């Protein structure tokens, strides 16, 4: 179980990392023909986890804050039970989200998929864990084919797949003043060849025709549905999306021919199903954790 601020936030399918390690420092050997080595600073390995998409809003709030420049949480823990042993808790001191991975989507796949997270802790402690039987509610699985894509009224019924989306929360240094900014990744859609006309028309107008200012960009969503597809588990909101490439893909061994559509996106927000903000204001201020 992943706990955020004392709240059971999500079940964890698997995780690795958190172990302490030391740097090895090389120094000149003086008269010796080889370098002298000694132990340097103590570090803790990043924790990489795959967690349920049917998560508590506390996890989505942390991700939202990370995408607005506040990626830290003081109280984060992983409660584990391995091979019938005693419960253990991995406490992560001052954990920072450095990466969020939205799973790849595929209309022909029935595979179970998870939300990928990477944390960088300043300290790690293993202690006896609490005895828990599970989440307070039963989490629902997310399967790769249970998704919908919407882009500002564009016909997206032909979208057959979406590549995994990896958001790095380390802000890049760009521009003349070296101001740190978060650069959200591009989106890669795979669309049935005979149902890609709406995307081709958008490309023709947006790229070839040059009508690509802010007013011509689109907002949209990728919705991750529960198995019965009656309600969302999570919603990825997309703000200021533009198209920059469309190309035929090689013929697949089975299934219809596909077209790859490449999109840029200025801002994303991942929310629980009950917490879709719908805001497109790019001047939102970061929220303190």
pLDDT tens, N- to C-terminus, the chain (289 residues) = 999 988 999 999 999 999 999 999 998 877 888 888 999 999 999 999 999 999 999 999 999 999 988 899 998 999 987 766 788 899 999 999 999 999 999 999 999 999 999 999 999 998 887 766 566 668 899 999 999 999 998 999 999 999 999 999 875 555 545 566 788 999 999 999 999 999 999 999 999 999 999 999 999 999 999 999 889 999 999 999 999 999 999 998 888 999 999 999 999 999 986 444 444 343 333 333 3
3-class secondary-structure state, position 204: helix
pLDDT at 285: 37
pLDDT at 255: 83
CA 223/CA 231 separation, integer angstroms: 9
Q: What is the CA radius of gyration of the chain?
A: 22
Q: How far is CA 126 from CA 3, 89, 123, 130, 171, in A?
A: 14, 6, 10, 12, 30
- Contact status, residue 271 vs residue 237, Cβ threshold 8 Å: yes
- Contact status, residue 232 vs residue 224, Cβ threshold 8 Å: yes
Residue whose tokens read 């939202």: 64
Nearest to 91 by CA among 78, 80, 107: 78
Q: How far is CA 196 from CA 191, 203, 208, 254, 285, in A?
A: 6, 11, 17, 19, 37
Q: Is the dihedral of CA 50, 53, 54, 58 positive or negative?
A: positive
pLDDT at 132: 61
pTM of the entire structure?
Answer: 0.86
What's the DSSP call for residue 126?
E
3-class secondary-structure state, position 223: strand
Residue whose tokens read 């007013």: 215
pLDDT at 29: 76
Structural element, H or E, at residue 63: helix 57-66
């Amino acid at each position: 179980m992943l706990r955020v601020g004392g709240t059971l936030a999500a079940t964890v399918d698997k995780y690795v990392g958190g172990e302490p390690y030391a740097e090895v420092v090389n120094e000149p050997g003086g008269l010796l023909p080889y370098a002298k080595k000694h132990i340097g600073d103590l570090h803790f390995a990043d924790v990489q986890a795959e967690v349920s998409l049917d998560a508590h809003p506390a996890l989505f709030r942390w991700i939202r804050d990370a995408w607005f420049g506040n990626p830290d949480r003081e109280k984060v823990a992983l409660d584990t039970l391995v091979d019938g042993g005693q419960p253990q808790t991995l406490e992560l001191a001052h954990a920072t989200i450095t990466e969020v991975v939205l799973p790849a989507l595929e209309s022909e796949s029935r595979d179970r998929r998870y939300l990928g997270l990477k944390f960088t802790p300043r300290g790690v402690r293993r202690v006896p864990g609490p005895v828990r039987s599970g989440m307070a509610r039963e989490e629902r699985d997310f399967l790769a084919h249970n998704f919908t894509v919407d882009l500002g009224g564009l016909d997206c019924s032909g979208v057959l797949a979406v590549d995994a989306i990896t958001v790095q929360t380390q802000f890049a240094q760009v521009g003349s003043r070296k101001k740190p900014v978060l650069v959200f990744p591009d989106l890669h859609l795979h669309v049935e060849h005979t149902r890609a006309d709406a995307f081709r028309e958008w490309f023709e107008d947006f790229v070839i025709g040059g009508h690509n200012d802010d007013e011509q960009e689109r907002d949209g969503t990728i919705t991750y549905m529960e198995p019965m597809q009656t309600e969302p588990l999570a919603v990825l909101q997309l703000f200021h999306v533009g198209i920059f490439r469309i190309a035929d893909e090689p013929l697949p061994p089975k299934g219809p021919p596909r077209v790859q559509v490449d999109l840029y996106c200025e801002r994303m927000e991942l929310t629980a199903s009950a917490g879709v903000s719908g805001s497109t204001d790019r001047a939102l201020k970061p929220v303190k954790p």
